[in-house]
Chain A
Amino acid sequence: MSFNSYIFLFCFLPLCLLGWYGLNKYGKYNMALGFLTLMSLWFYGYFNPSYLLIMVASVSVNYFLSFLMDRSEKFNKVFMVTGALFNLGLLFYYKYYDFFIENVNAVFKTDYNLKHILLPLGISFFTFQQFSFIIERGRKKIPHCGPAEYAAFVTFFPQLVAGPIVLYEEMIPQFRDKARRSFNADNMYNGIGYFVMGLAKKVLLADVLAIPVNYGFDNSIYMDAVGTVLVMTAYTLQLYFDFSGYSDMAIGLGLMFNLELPVNFKSPYKSSTLKELWERWHMTLTRFLRNYVYIPLGGNRKGKARKLFNIFAVFVVSGIWHGASWNYIIWGILTGIIVIWNNLNIFGYDKNASNPAKIVLPEFIGRIITPITFAFLLIPFRSPDIATIWVLLRNLTKGWTGNAYKIANVIKLPEMYIIEEILQKVAPSYTNMFALGVFILLCALGIFICSRKNTAQIVNAYREKRWFMPVCVLLLVYCIISFSQVSTFIYFNF
């Protein structure tokens, strides 16, 4: 089930909150964890019940390995390696098997059959979470825990399908803290704020921007330069609002349960370098890749060249993580190259930095260049195939053919219906211009929002204001009436 659905808001969430706080109130702490796990499994199984088997198997195997480590410390490393291989194997089988076979067939001219396996939602997220758990258990940095705690830690529904990728030490102590088991009005209040803002990002912005983006990428050969620039801008915004909206909702839901989830986005489009952007974008994935790819490869401990190679490796892995396709690998390679360039520190924007760049430029230049660079990098990220990447780049030389009108006209906002009807009657020749104006305004609104306070800052700054909660409630109801037009989250498939 999706956060942006009627069943979630009107049925699942109220039931889940009532059950959680009700059981905890009567001291049934373990039962409350069991209840939360069962509800989370319902949440997950609602997408496709067959996914539950994979989820339950994955949780059981990892927990059993942790149990074995607890019993026989001598074989810790064996169980750790087994667990790591199991998790990576699971991910490889469901996510990369067909891609691997396709490439084997292409290179060796073989004809192995593809399996066309349906990718279980969020498999990367819960697998990485458990991979981290099993490695840290193997390193003896964290202790074993109870089955109810572990199941709740992995399956806790707000973070289950698209992160944030949480760590044992972030969640288990919270589950054990009795003070967190009782209703906390402050956290509920903040949680509603986070949730509503995330929901609004997703439903009112990302899903609306998705309409011209999908049309543009599906009809890329017809687009002119103006249309291509608008579609690239819209996709850059859509991706951010979609994923950061999900993360805000996850954090908000966590707070409603009096549990804190880690921050996943910190105004990434305000960054002045791509390196900085990646420190602010999907921060829990960046943390995971740093801990389990960058540092094991040597991090910055083995000289500058090795450090740059390690950075490059992290982004190639990140590309592969995002999807089983050469597009993502190209995206990862290009991103890695630019982040390496940033690390060379030739150009920089902070003259007061401990290690200032050779050439220091005004920061606003970086803040303009970075999101534009990111938008260009998203061309391979979003393109369905390599050919589309070239088509889109070539489109940038086409100038204006009027095709942008066509793209803009696919945005049919019910809110604009009356204005469009009136315009159609009184000035029909301006309808195209109006549609394009709406598209440009939407992009401008998105850019404006990205340049202002982020969700955490808004909640902290305005929560005491009298208007804060009424505005949140109004936004929530507005999102609810927009549910009939929403889609699933982009990151569900990563």
Chain B
Amino acid sequence: MLKKLKYALILYIVLLAIPVLAVVIFDPYYHYHKPLKGLKAVLYEKEYQVVGTLDHFDYDAVIAGSSVAENYNNSWFDEIFGVKSVKAIRSYGATADLCSFLDRAYEDHDLKMVFYNLDPSSLKVDPEVTFESSGCPMYLYDDNILNDVKYIYNKDVIFEKIPYMLAKSFSDYDEGESYNWGRWKHFDLEMCISQYYRHPSVTPMQEASYRDEAGEANITLIENIVSAHPETKFIIFTPPYSMLWWDNAYREGDTEMYLRLLDFAVKRLSTYDNVRFFMFSGDRDVVLNIENNYMDTLHFSPEINRYMVDRMSRGEMEVDTANISEEIEKLRQMAYEIPEELIKPYEDVLIYGEE
């Protein structure tokens, strides 16, 4: 019996080694290395793959942002700005999370450029890293090899992620479209209206400064990175959220708070020589066109992503300390015009939520 147990132990060790080999070699989350030669970088699960990408890929530029930045094709930036970029995406674009990604990227890479999608909504949240609290797989985020068992001995990875990566590698998969979700979505009035639950009543406008503390702290986080890396050129831009988002901000009494935080961000960040700031928040052509551009209150179509890259490459929509007050005033006009006038034609089809 002892002999049988010894054989069983050997078999156990051999069988345990098979998943280790499969996962370490193919490594669909790029936790150990960049894609093997001949295989493509198949990136579609940001919580699982961004960290590995930042640690092991060859790149000199990072596209950082929230879900609205997922539909950029890396090649647009690469061709226009002459860089090799990867994406660092975090749901909701929490500033502390994105800055943590950038710190990680700087550990082993010299970055020529950072394209930073700055969501206005991310400025008001607490400047805390949210990976753990939001349930990210921390075994991929830390350096503890012991908890890698969750990655290595994981049948999702073995039966699903590895075959998917291999299948995509041998298809016409475009590596530049990492994390892209736009191709499966519809961007039209029906879609975006169905995702907006309008407050039945309007909250009186809150004190514009009520999220100053969080906003200042978030901007400081970005500033710290910008100032620590003068060799990197930072292209910071705010995305064009739809008029429905601005209507909601108005009804929650937050319009002035957002305007103030945007004003802060531009005034502080654009003073750095290595920063250029572009503001699409008030781009009326995009923001007001909910017939064609949006799938909900803020997620726009990939065509808008392309449009933004093109305009930035031409230096359009740029703001700085000289023109920001004027731009914020224009944005304010639009932000109030929306609930008071521009949304009226849609009021009959809007869905009203509960108080």
Chain A residues close to B by CB (< 8 Å): 6, 10, 185-186, 188-189, 192, 414-415, 417-418, 421, 469-470, 472-474, 476-477, 480-485
Contacts and interface: CB of A to CB of B under 8 A. Distances in A.
Pick the most buried of A476, A477, A481, A485: most chain B CB atoms within 10 A of its CB: A481
A185 B7 CA distance: 13
A472 B8 contact: yes
B153 A484 contact: yes
Contacts of A470: 8, 11
Contacts of A485: 155-156
A481 B153 contact: yes
Contact of B11 (A185, A414, A421, A473): A473
A472 B149 CA distance: 21
A476 B16 CA distance: 10
Interface string B132-156: 0000000000000000011001111
Pick the most buried of B1, B7, B18, B159: most chain A CB atoms within 10 A of its CB: B1
B158 interface: yes
Nearest to B163: A418
A359 B165 CA distance: 64
Contacts of B159: 414-415, 417-418
Contacts of B156: 414, 484-485
Given A414-B160, A477-B18, A482-B155, 18 more contacts: A6-B150, A185-B2, A185-B5, A189-B1, A192-B8, A414-B158, A415-B155, A417-B164, A469-B5, A469-B7, A476-B12, A480-B16, A481-B153, A483-B150, A483-B154, A484-B153, A484-B156, A485-B156
Interface string B45-71: 000000000000000000000000000
B349 interface: no
B155 A414 contact: yes
Given A6-B149, A417-B163, A418-B163, A481 B154 contact: yes
Which bracket fits the contact residues of B?
Answer: 20 to 34
Q: Which 8 A-B pairs have the closest CB atoms?
A: A414-B159, A185-B1, A477-B15, A417-B160, A481-B155, A484-B154, A185-B2, A6-B149
A20 to B, nearest CB: 16
A477 to B, nearest CB: 4
22 contacts: A10-B149, A185-B1, A185-B2, A189-B1, A414-B156, A414-B160, A415-B159, A417-B159, A417-B164, A418-B163, A469-B5, A469-B7, A469-B8, A469-B11, A470-B11, A473-B12, A474-B15, A477-B12, A477-B16, A481-B154, A481-B158, A484-B153
Nearest to B15: A477
B1 A480 contact: no
Pick the most buried of A186, A476, A477: most chain B CB atoms within 10 A of its CB: A477
Interface string B165-190: 00100000000000000000000000
B4 interface: yes
A185 B9 CA distance: 13
Interface in B71-89: none
A442 to B, nearest CB: 16
B140 to A, nearest CB: 12
Contacts of B339: none
Contacts of B7: 469
A185 B158 CA distance: 34
Nearest to A416: B159
A185 B1 CA distance: 6
Nearest to B12: A473
B19 interface: yes
A476 to B, nearest CB: 7
A157 to B, nearest CB: 21
Nearest to A472: B8
Contacts of B16: 477, 480
B4 A469 contact: yes
A421 B163 CA distance: 11
A473 B15 contact: yes
A415 B156 CA distance: 8
Contacts of B1: 185-186, 188-189
A483 B4 contact: no
A485 B11 CA distance: 24
A379 B154 CA distance: 33
Contacts of A185: 1-2, 5
Nearest to B11: A473
A153 B150 CA distance: 33
Nearest to A418: B163
Interface string B228-255: 0000000000000000000000000000
Contacts of B5: 185, 188-189, 192, 469
B19 A481 contact: yes
A477 B154 CA distance: 11
B212 to A, nearest CB: 37
Interface string B8-42: 10011001101100000000000000000000000
B53 to A, nearest CB: 22
Contacts of A10: 149
Nearest to A469: B8
A205 to B, nearest CB: 15
A91 to B, nearest CB: 34
A159 to B, nearest CB: 24
Nearest to A474: B15
B155 A484 contact: yes
Contacts of B8: 192, 469-470, 472-473
A466 B109 CA distance: 55
Interface string B301-331: 0000000000000000000000000000000
Pick the most buried of B12, B16, B158: most chain A CB atoms within 10 A of its CB: B12
Given A188-B5, A189-B5, A474-B15, A483 B153 contact: yes
A415 B158 CA distance: 9
Contacts of B2: 185
B148 to A, nearest CB: 10
A421 B164 CA distance: 9
Pick the most buried of B19, B155, B156, B158: most chain A CB atoms within 10 A of its CB: B155
A418 B11 CA distance: 28
A6 B163 contact: no
B327 to A, nearest CB: 48
Contacts of B150: 6, 483-484
Contacts of B19: 477, 481
A421 B161 CA distance: 12
Pick the most buried of A10, A414, A472, A476: most chain B CB atoms within 10 A of its CB: A414
Contacts of A474: 15
